[in-house]
Structure 1
Amino acid sequence: MTQARRIPPKPPRPRPAPLASSPIITALENNVARAGGAGKPRGAALVQNFWATNGANSPLVEELPNRDERLVTFLWQDADAERVLVFVNRLTDERNLAASYARRVPGTDLWHLTYRMAADWRASYSFLPQYDVRPPWLDGDDQAEIRAALDRGLADPRNAETCRNRRGTVMSVVSLPAAPAQHQVAYRTGVVRGTVTEHSGPGERRLWVYSPPQAAAEPTPVVLVLDGEVWTSSQDLPATMDNLIADRLVRPAHLVMLDSGGTTARWGEMGGPGEIGHYLIRRLLPWARRHYPISPRRGDVVVAGLSLGGLVALRTALENSFQVGGVLSQSASLWQDDLTAALAASDIRGLRAYLEVGSQEWLLAQPNRQFAERLARAGAEVQFVEYNGGHDYACWRGGVADGLRYLLPVSRQPGTG
């Protein structure tokens, strides 16, 4: 076990982000220059026409001869800004933020930054315009302070697709045409809804229990979900579960969503070898079975988590292999612990595991790939997904639906273990 750290390591990007130039923007710049600049009537009209046409929706996406790629241009309209930082999940290098400053069409209110990306890319992003206040990332190297500032950026007013980050800030989302579908994420009218009840659970821990909309003929599976305060606020996991059940993609199940207790408590529990796994299985699971019609079978117990919670979910499944039949891990923080000892001590035959990680997560992608392979060799049934994105709720909110579909399919008969 490695010693717990409060802040993940922040190595620079192994390769620079794929900056590019937009032909549409380049043509505009040239035409404005030929018109005598943006201060001339013709030049000003060209810029105004751009905002009414190509710039009306952001980001601007242009096709390339290689149809597997796109040029993606982020647009910000601001005549008064001194600089504009475009914060794109895992493309922006927090140790080289200068590379993510937008360029300005001279003399105009048009700021732009273009990347060349594969057509299956998805990411959240925001803008941080700078005026007469010096931003915190220009002084010092406190990564926690820098990250807190970056997480408070402004959403794109020309993009209707959004999500919220962990702090609850609204972020814009870019989803290129081949990005994985997220049909079960959004709240739908007309779908029969389950109920969500807040409880004070064992040890007076706050939690929420989702009950499926219709009483099942027999006890249901249960999913023990970490970071419950996120999945019941900025992310709507109950709505996702309602949609999955309505579409007959999963068996009805209860979700027991545990509050992390805040950033400090979360790091204290999840950032080291604490007792959170024992709490989940030895206290929370029996409590849930006493209060709700939940199956006693091992195969009907799933533990789910993301980031640090993904690491905890994996460790909990390994250390409680006779009680846990499924694990859903999203971008597990395997920089903390490679779980070698826990895996060696476990008999995980029959465990079903869904692991996903973003290819833009340069710190986590390779460790998660390797661990998925090790799980499979040890006897688990593993589905490993590597999506083109980062450490990002814009991706995780769809991935959790895919993981539940794999772990709770309607065609799978309840286990007997």
Structure 2
Amino acid sequence: MSRIGQLVMAAAAGISLPLAAHTKDLNVSGTLDGTAAIIALEGNIGDYYSGHLQPGKAEVYIFAPNATDKRLLARGSGGSERIHFVAATDEPRLEIVGAKGTDYEIMLTRRTPNGSQDAPTHELRSPKLQQTLTALQAGANSDAFWIDVSAQGTPLIEHVDGRTLMTFLYRGAANNVRLLGGPSSDHDWLARLGDSDIWYKTYEVPDETRLSYRLAPDVPRFDGNPRDQRMAILATAAADPRNRAPWPETAPSRWQQWSTVSLENAPVQPGFPLKGAKTPDLTSESFASDVLGNRREITFFRSENFSPDANDAVLLFMFDGPRAIAEMQIPQMLDRLTASQAIPPVAAVFIDPIDVAHRGAELPGNPDFSAFMAQELLPRALQHFGMEHDRTRTVLAGASYGGIGSTNAALDKPQSFGNVISLSGSYWWAPEGAASDNGLSYVANRLIESDLSEEIRFFIGAGRFETSTTGHYEIRETSRQLHAVLKAKGMESHWCEYDGGHDSFVWRGGYGDGLIALFGGGAKVCDESE
């Protein structure tokens, strides 16, 4: 499309395009008139675009080369959302969808990747790959390998001398492949098998492993800071096309799906699988906070057997609500656990973080957020469900930032919240300027120095793979520290270590484990020898 054509299309859609013909920055804004706005971007195949959809309710899609398939880039949550994609065509086109009168603003930077890279090399540990390499060197092609692998499903699982080897595979990338998730949190690079179309990475894993992952082929390489380069993996990451267990099964496309692995000895996840589960009854409202000066969506849920008069009913507050509902399917899990009487009836409040910026500013350790929870949201929840407050039946639950956020909010407001479920808590976090001279985390030291007048019960879980090669952002070790401090202070704390990583496919089971440990009548769910 010519520049004139772009301007005509932009004018029809009520948007503005930058005046410079070859600018690398793009700022598009407008108001929807009830139909989708189509935006043609300047650029070429392979260009990398990154930026944000500013706060708003518009959804953003990128068209595929066939002009009928589309990939969702931003869901229109109301907060600021990141956008990453690689152009699959010259002059790629975006589609903006929303209700009539919806305002939108998209800010993008376009980068031209600086070419290929030298593929890394890895030790060839997989017997099947060793055999394949021998065949390739003798003149065979890879077709037989891929037919066999596709029939089995990926990743490749092999048992060698009592060890379990898990090999992630990708076919046909030009320059590189990266692994998002899996047994590592380092976005590992896959290696190329000779000069074939086989890319691979092998790990030795416990036979109780459960995890989810995505594969990102041809991640753009460009000059930029390490964080920007690391985030570029989101431009191409998608479910593994040869994996037999995509999750969630109902996701609109592989870009919104993860591939999963549950080895034969992976522990049962309470309430799962959900085949045949009923659609949960959810009620949402926009909730304004005077304390925080913002507004977010709050979603309420009652298990089918819930009664506000039940003296054993649990009031659950769960952070990262949209993900817990749509991805982890926590409401359906709660219905199953309460129906089987594994836990008492539950009333749950799912809290939207608004966006990445608000989540980072509010969850880890913000006294104002704790005040919002205790002074504003707790009373609203009690009113909505018709319950009387009982701190011993009230629980804060979250993962990652939500894990440390649950702990800090309970420590800030122990009169309101008497229970915490923390999964993969980001206990490496500390306020700016805070320092520790004893090797313990900020929260562990805060707990040591605290003189709580109310008992708080904890369930703490973390993944065996949640370690760091640099020593920073350690989650497994700092979670174990916190559990040890709690036990040393004579507080109730349950510990679960999962053979998994920083992974919501693991967390969905951890929430059930936590509720059973705290409210399941003394049922033991994990090895608590730590």
TM range (shorter): 0.7 to 0.9
Residues 192 and 175 of structure 1: CA distance in aligned 2, closer, same or farther (over 3 Å): closer
- Would the aligned equivalents of 2:185 and 2:465 in 1 still touch at CA under 8 Å? no
Q: Which amino acid aligns with 2:165?
A: L
- Once residues 252 and 31 of structure 1 are traced to their aligned partners in structure 2, the CA distance between those partners, rounded to angstroms, is 60
Q: Which amino acid aligns with 2:498?
A: Y
Partner SS, residue 232 of structure 1: helix
- Once residues 371 and 18 of structure 1 are traced to their aligned partners in structure 2, the CA distance between those partners, rounded to angstroms, is 36
- Once residues 427 and 416 of structure 2 are traced to their aligned partners in structure 1, the CA distance between those partners, rounded to angstroms, is 23
- Once residues 453 and 231 of structure 2 are traced to their aligned partners in structure 1, the CA distance between those partners, rounded to angstroms, is 38
- Would the aligned equivalents of 1:211 and 1:255 in 2 still touch at CA under 8 Å? yes
Q: Which amino acid aligns with 1:82?
A: N
Residues 23 and 115 of structure 1: CA distance in aligned 2, closer, same or farther (over 3 Å): same
1:84: how far off?
2.5
- Would the aligned equivalents of 1:151 and 1:169 in 2 still touch at CA under 8 Å? no
Alignment partner for residue 515 of structure 2, among 383, 404, 407? Answer: 404
Residues 373 and 92 of structure 1: CA distance in aligned 2, closer, same or farther (over 3 Å): closer
Partner SS, residue 214 of structure 1: coil
Q: Which amino acid aligns with 1:393?
A: S
* 1:205 alignment partner in structure 2: 296
- Would the aligned equivalents of 2:125 and 2:202 in 1 still touch at CA under 8 Å? yes
Worse-superposed segment, 194-203 or 377-386: 194-203
* 2:192 alignment partner in structure 1: 103
- Would the aligned equivalents of 1:227 and 1:260 in 2 still touch at CA under 8 Å? yes
Partner SS, residue 289 of structure 1: helix
Residues 28-56 of structure 1 show CA distances to partners (whole Å, capped at 9, x for unaligned) of 2213333xx1xxxxx24xx3333332442
* 1:122 alignment partner in structure 2: 210
* 1:157 alignment partner in structure 2: 241
Alignment partner for residue 214 of structure 1, among 273, 291, 305? Answer: 305
Q: Which runs of 5+ in 2 are unaligned?
A: 1-120, 290-294, 431-441, 468-473, 524-530
Residues 144 and 371 of structure 1: CA distance in aligned 2, closer, same or farther (over 3 Å): farther
Q: Which amino acid aligns with 1:77?
A: R
* 1:13 alignment partner in structure 2: none
Residue 52, structure 1, aligned to residue 152, structure 2: no
Residue 73, structure 1, aligned to residue 142, structure 2: no
- Once residues 208 and 146 of structure 1 are traced to their aligned partners in structure 2, the CA distance between those partners, rounded to angstroms, is 33
- Would the aligned equivalents of 2:365 and 2:405 in 1 still touch at CA under 8 Å? no
* 2:477 alignment partner in structure 1: 366
Q: Which amino acid aligns with 1:341?
A: R
* 2:225 alignment partner in structure 1: 141
1:342: how far off?
5.0
- Would the aligned equivalents of 1:20 and 1:71 in 2 still touch at CA under 8 Å? no
Q: Please, what TM-score do these two structures have when normalized by structure 1?
A: 0.81
Q: Please, what TM-score do these two structures have when normalized by structure 2?
A: 0.65
* 1:357 alignment partner in structure 2: 462
- Once residues 365 and 457 of structure 2 are traced to their aligned partners in structure 1, the CA distance between those partners, rounded to angstroms, is 25
Alignment partner for residue 170 of structure 1, among 250, 257, 261? Answer: 257
Instruction: Determine what percentage of the aligned residue pairs are the same residue.
Output: 27
- Once residues 124 and 164 of structure 2 are traced to their aligned partners in structure 1, the CA distance between those partners, rounded to angstroms, is 10
- Once residues 422 and 324 of structure 2 are traced to their aligned partners in structure 1, the CA distance between those partners, rounded to angstroms, is 15
- Once residues 284 and 109 of structure 1 are traced to their aligned partners in structure 2, the CA distance between those partners, rounded to angstroms, is 54
Larger relative contact order (Cα-Cα within 8 Å, sequence gap ≥ 6): 1
Residues 87 and 298 of structure 1: CA distance in aligned 2, closer, same or farther (over 3 Å): closer
- Would the aligned equivalents of 1:105 and 1:111 in 2 still touch at CA under 8 Å? no
Residue 182, structure 1, aligned to residue 246, structure 2: no
1:208: how far off?
0.3
1:345: how far off?
2.7
Q: Which amino acid aligns with 2:154?
A: S
- Would the aligned equivalents of 1:305 and 1:328 in 2 still touch at CA under 8 Å? yes
Q: Which amino acid aligns with 2:275?
A: R
- Would the aligned equivalents of 1:334 and 1:367 in 2 still touch at CA under 8 Å? yes
Q: Which runs of 5+ in 1 are unaligned?
A: 1-16, 38-42, 413-417
Residues 53-77 of structure 1 show CA distances to partners (whole Å, capped at 9, x for unaligned) of 24421111001222xx311111222
Count of residue correspondences: 373
- Once residues 225 and 87 of structure 1 are traced to their aligned partners in structure 2, the CA distance between those partners, rounded to angstroms, is 25
* 2:420 alignment partner in structure 1: 327
- Would the aligned equivalents of 2:178 and 2:233 in 1 still touch at CA under 8 Å? no
Partner SS, residue 91 of structure 1: coil
Q: Which has the larger radius of gyration?
A: 2
Residues 249 and 20 of structure 1: CA distance in aligned 2, closer, same or farther (over 3 Å): farther
Alignment partner for residue 360 of structure 2, among 256, 267, 270? Answer: 267
Alignment partner for residue 501 of structure 2, among 379, 383, 390? Answer: 390
1:319: how far off?
2.1
* 1:288 alignment partner in structure 2: 381
Residue 250, structure 1, aligned to residue 355, structure 2: no
